[in-house]
Amino acid sequence: MAKSKLDLLQGTLDLMVLQTLVSMGPQHGYGIARRIEQVSGNEVLLNQGTIYASLVRLQERGWISAEWGTSDNNRKAKFYAITKKGGKQLAEDAVQWQRLCDVMGRVLAMQGEHK
């Protein structure tokens, strides 16, 4: 497997799924996986199958809901949508992530000045 691609940190996939659902509305597993690949510019490598563990986890926590429906090309597929609770969670997590990124950025920048 290509080494240059990013390994996903624990929990990041869940956040990506939530954000994807917010931006795209209800979507099936394949759609979500594709979207994440596209948005990341194929930087993130995920076995698409992995998405289902994330989906069931989110579902159990009540952050997303699921329903069988029909896809654009008339295929039966399970569609996932974000719940109110999921939205709240996403907002919180996003802030957390932003803060972490800022801090990491600053820390790494500091190291750079010394070189």
Partner 1 sequence: MTWLKLLLQRLRASFSHPQIDQELDMEMASHLEIAIEENLKQGMSVEEARRQASVRFGGVEQAKQQHREARGFLWLDVLSQDLRYTFRALRRDPGFAAIAILILSFGIGANVAVFSVVNTILLRPLPFRDPQQLVWITGLPGKGGLSSQTYSTDAYKAFLSQQRSFQDVTGYFAFSTSDNTRLMGRGEPLLLSGILVNGNFFQTLGVQPILGRLFRPEECQKNAAPVTLLGYAFWKREFGGDPDIVGKAVNFDGRSVTIVGVVPETFDFGSVFSPGSKIDTYGPAILDDMEDWGNTLALIGRLKPGVSIGQAQAEADLLFPRLLFSFKHPDWGGNYTGKLSILKDYVSGKLRRSLIVLWCAVGLILLIVCVNLSNLMLARAAARGKEFAMRSALGAGRGRLVRQLLTESIVLSAIGALLGLGLACGLTFYLAHQGSIALPLLSSVTLDGSALVWTLLITIATAMIFGLVPGLKMSRSNLQEALKDSGQGLSEGKKHETLRAALVISELSLACVLLVGAGLLLHSFLRVLDVDLGFEPSRTAAIKVDFDDSKPERRGAVLRDMLQRILAVPGIEATGVADNLPLDMNRSWGLSAKGKEYKPGELPATFVYVVTPGYLNVMGIRMLAGRDISWQDETGKERVVIINQTAARYLWPGEDPVGRMALVSGMDTRVIGVVADVRESSAETAPGWQMYLPVMQNGPVGARLVVRTKLSPNVLASSVMATLRSINPAQPATEFRPMQNIVDHSVSPRRFFVSLVGIFAVLGLVLASLGIYGVISYSVTRQTQEIGIRMALGATVANVQLRVIAKTLRLALIGIVLGAVASFAMARAITSLLFAVQPNDPPTFTSTILLLTTVAIVAGYVPARRASRINPMIALRND
Are 26 and 70 in contact, with CB atoms under 8 Å apart?
no
Other CB atoms within 10 A of residue 42 CB = 11
Closest CA to 80 of 35, 25, 15: 25
Does 71 sit near partner 1 (CB under 8 A)? yes
Does 38 sit near partner 1 (CB under 8 A)? no
Does 77 sit near partner 1 (CB under 8 A)? yes
Q: What is the DSSP string of 34-69?
A: HHHHHHTTT-B---TTHHHHHHHHHHHTTSEEEEEE
- Among 5, 62, 98, 99, the residue binding partner 1 under the rule CB under 8 A is 62
Q: State the nearest-atom distance from the C-beta of 7 to partner 1, in Å.
A: 14
Q: Measured between alpha carbons, how far is 115 from 106 in angstroms, rounded to an integer?
A: 15
Q: State the nearest-atom distance from the C-beta of 10 to partner 1, in Å.
A: 12
Does 47 sit near partner 1 (CB under 8 A)? yes
**Which of the residues 9 through 28 are near partner 1 (CB under 8 A)?**
28
Q: Which residues of the chain form contacts with partner 1 (CB under 8 A)?
A: 28-31, 33-34, 47-50, 52-54, 56-57, 60-62, 71, 73, 75-78
